[in-house]
Structure 1
Amino acid sequence: MNSTIDFLICTDQKVDSNAANIKVFTTNLLEIKKRIEELVKFKVCLSSPRKLCDYKGLYGLIFQEYTKNYDFWGFCDSDLIFGNIRTFLTDDILNNYDHILGLGHFQLQRTSDTKYFDVIKQSHGMGKNPYWLNKFSIEGFVLDTGLDWKSVFTTEKNQVFDELPYGVAAKYYELYPNLFWSGHNENNRCFDDVDSRYCYFSDIYNTYSKYCDSGYLLLSKIFPLWKREKPSNPDLNAVIYRKKGKHLFRIGKGYNGKLIEQELLYVHFLHRKMKVKTNDYVSFLIVPNRFINDRKFNLFLFFFYAFRIEHKWNIYIAKLQHFLGRIKEKYYE
């Protein structure tokens, strides 16, 4: 399972790993805060795990004793299922790009890139810019109008400094577009970010009808990497996923009524409470909102798995919990 790529888990929890490519480093927020302050030379805010998002772009620098001997370092979320990373991040991409992918789920950065810390210092957080824009209006969205990097690190509120359309990735793309590989093209992107607003599994960018009513389309005026073309055949909309060894596939109904499998780099399950209903961790199906045993299925079973009604209640409950959590977070700011 991606055995040629090493993972480092920095945690204050007890985590056991028997995998040769997974290392566990025991630490805590206070120790990480000290590491950040030693790097940037000023006091920073880090009182909750959520604020770590703004510091993701520093991980390769503050954990340099672990990353210095690698060609690339990176970070990823813990709610991902990876496919075969090497299938997508080929030697050609690794040889020609310094900053790879631009969203907070998964990014890579060339270790020997001497200009990287200067990019960080020129980057801006969200500030007063609305996240994904207010009612998807491009008006008023201007790069570099958010908080500067020092202000991002000295405020408790998360500033989306780890991903487009803000932060280090946005500035890197602005300054060095030819060295930035986003994983997006005019037809699709190589991963799925499952939208939590839907009961079924659907990625906004990879579904053209949804893309046309999203911030991706409007922001493509600023970030051309997000410009899509209308496909000759409809995109897969509601999908399920199959993990088969080190490979990951998106499965959906094609325009001709037949099931189609498309290989992915990873899938991101944001705000999804998933249940594990299988003992096979090598090959399995991922349906809303559970992991189940792999099996052969036809179109009828596909619709059964993709649109089971019980999943709707789970999503509604999760949305309510998330909404109440945001109210609590706002109250204590």
Structure 2
Amino acid sequence: MKRACFIIPYFGKLPNYFQLFLNSCKPNKSFDWLIFTDDMSNFDYPENVKRVSMSWNEFQKKAQEKFDIKLSLEFTRKLCDFKPTYGYIFENYIQKYPYWGYCDIDTIMGNLDKLLPIDFIEKYDKLFSLGHMVLFKNSPEINKVFMKSVNGNWYYKKALTENEITVFDETGNGKHNVDTIFVKNGYKVFHADWSYNPRVTPTKFKNVIYDYSNDTFHNEDLKDTLCVWNGKSIIRYIFQENFVKNEEFLYVHLQQRKMKLKKGVERAKAFAIIPNEFIPIDITKINDLNYIKNIKRQGINFHYIRILWNWKVKNRFFRK
């Protein structure tokens, strides 16, 4: 039985590593993905990922038909505020699923089948707090919870009608979000952060973990690690003095990282994920330190310089 369907509207050119995202979805037979997009490029879609042709104008019209308020959908980046509405907007597509969700495509999926068994997720009305992956129980009531008030305030009206991004889809950026609405209205929410979520800066991977108990992000300080998709799971290997420790994550999130594709990686059975590249690997050699060190060697990586340019220079002097 299928457990959930992820809904992803995406307009414009899909990322250069989108095929790797699709490859990581494929082994998760209990989960489906619906990609609403105007990019008809020739990707190899697995059976559990369905592409639905839709233009940006068609999405705008479809969304507006569901609301009496005038929606602000002037640019596609505004979609992050609309993520909690997808179960309501696309309700006709997900009727057969007990859960639905949203996730980003700058991700590589891990072993969702293993880590999200149905007897676990069915305990909750909403799972996870960060916008790169959230799951909801699929019912007419739950799919409209985002429209409930908190102390007489309707956060969704501000989020869906303002031109500026309000980060309505996740916690960690204020309290006026869908997570607060679920909590304050008495719904059951699972808040733990199971993602491998490297900070946008620095260049090297430095995982940041969201702690709901105090609404803060904690930066890990691990120096010698390697992140791998082994054909099914996301595993981070931590190399210590005389042994290798490994830990599993639900997915890896590569926010704002410009990634390269090593030759052959789109057909690889396993690959390493380093800060600027996907590299095919022989998973049987993963505990060979010399093999690992060779993988971890990088050329010049301009990620940090590019981020500074975008944040401090480009936004200041070239803003429209």
Alignment TM-score, normalising by the size of structure 1: 0.76
Corresponding residue for 1:283? 270
SS in 2 for 1:194: coil
> What is the 5 A alignment of 1:41-190?
41-112=68-139, 114-122=141-149, 148-165=155-172, 166=175, 167-176=177-186, 179-182=188-191, 184=192, 189-190=193-194
Rounded to whole Å, the distance in 2 between the matches of 1:171 and 1:5 is 26
Q: Conserved in 1, the CA contact under 8 Å of 2:238 and 2:244?
A: yes
Which residue type is aligned with residue 247 of structure 1? S
Question: Shift of the alpha carbon at 1:248?
Answer: 1.5
The Cα of 1:290 is off from its aligned counterpart by 0.4
Compared CA separation, residues 42 and 328, structure 1 to 2 (3 A): farther
SS at match of 2:309: helix
Question: Do the aligned partners of 1:29 and 1:47 also contact (CA within 8 Å) in 2?
Answer: no
**8 Å contact 2:230–2:271 — kept in the other structure?**
yes
Q: Tell me which moved more, 86-95 or 319-328.
A: 319-328
- Structure 2 residues not aligned, in runs of 5+: 1-26
* Aligned counterpart in structure 1 of residue 300 of structure 2, from 279, 285, 310: 310
CA contact (8 A) 1:98 1:110 kept: yes
The structure 2 residue matched to 1:12, chosen from 38, 41, 45, is 38
Query: Structure 1, residues 250-292: CA drift from partner, whole Å, max 9, x if none?
Result: 11224x5422221111000011000000413431111121011
Structure 2: how far apart are the matches of 1:115 and 1:5? 19
Q: Which of the pair is proportionally richer in helix?
A: 1
Instruction: Provide, for residues 38-58 of structure 1, a one-character-per-residue CA deviation record: whole Å limited to 9, x for no partner.
Output: 222121111111001000111
CA contact (8 A) 2:80 2:167 kept: yes
| Native 8 Å contact 2:235 2:247 kept in 1 | yes
Assess, with a 3 A threshold, how the Cα gap between structure 1 residues 181 and 323 changes in structure 2: closer, same or farther.
same
Deviation at 1:145, TM superposition (A): 11
Partner of 1:321: 310
Matched, 1:262 2:226: no
Amino acid at match of 1:220: S
CA distance in 1, matches of 2:128, 2:82: 17
Q: Is the 8 A contact 1:201 1:306 kept in 2?
A: no
RMSD, aligned CA: 2.9
User: Which amino acid is the alignment partner of residue 96 of structure 2?
Assistant: N
1:16-35 mapped onto 2 (5 Å cutoff): 16=42, 17-35=44-62
Amino acid at match of 1:200: K
Q: 1:176 to 1:87 in 2, by over 3 A?
A: farther
Letter in 2 for 1:284: F
Match of 2:235? 249
Give distance in 2, aligned partners of 1:202 and 1:161: 25
The alpha-carbon distance between structure 1 residues 284 and 114, as it changes in their structure 2 partners (threshold 3 A), is: same
Aligned twin of 1:220: 213
For residue 220 of structure 1, give the secondary structure of its aligned residue in structure 2.
coil
| Mapped partners of 1:315, 1:21: distance in 2 | 36
* Conserved 8 A contact 2:78-2:165: yes
TM-aligned CA deviation for residue 200 of structure 1: 0.9
Is the CA contact (8 Å cut-off) linking 1:200 and 1:238 kept in structure 2?
A: no
Identity among equivalent positions (%) equals 27
Cα shift at 1:322: 4.3
- The Cα of 1:220 is off from its aligned counterpart by 3.4
TM-score by length of 2: 0.78
Does the 8 A contact of 1:200 with 1:307 survive in 2?
A: no
- Partner letter of residue 42 of structure 1? I
Shift of residue 306, structure 1, vs aligned partner = 4.6
Kindly tell me: are residues 325 and 2 of structure 1, through their superposed partners in 2, closer, same or farther at Cα, counting changes over 3 Å? farther
Gap runs ≥5 in structure 1: 124-143, 206-215, 229-233
Q: Deviations over 1:91-148 (max 9, x none)?
A: 222221110111110111111161441343326xxxxxxxxxxxxxxxxxxxx89983
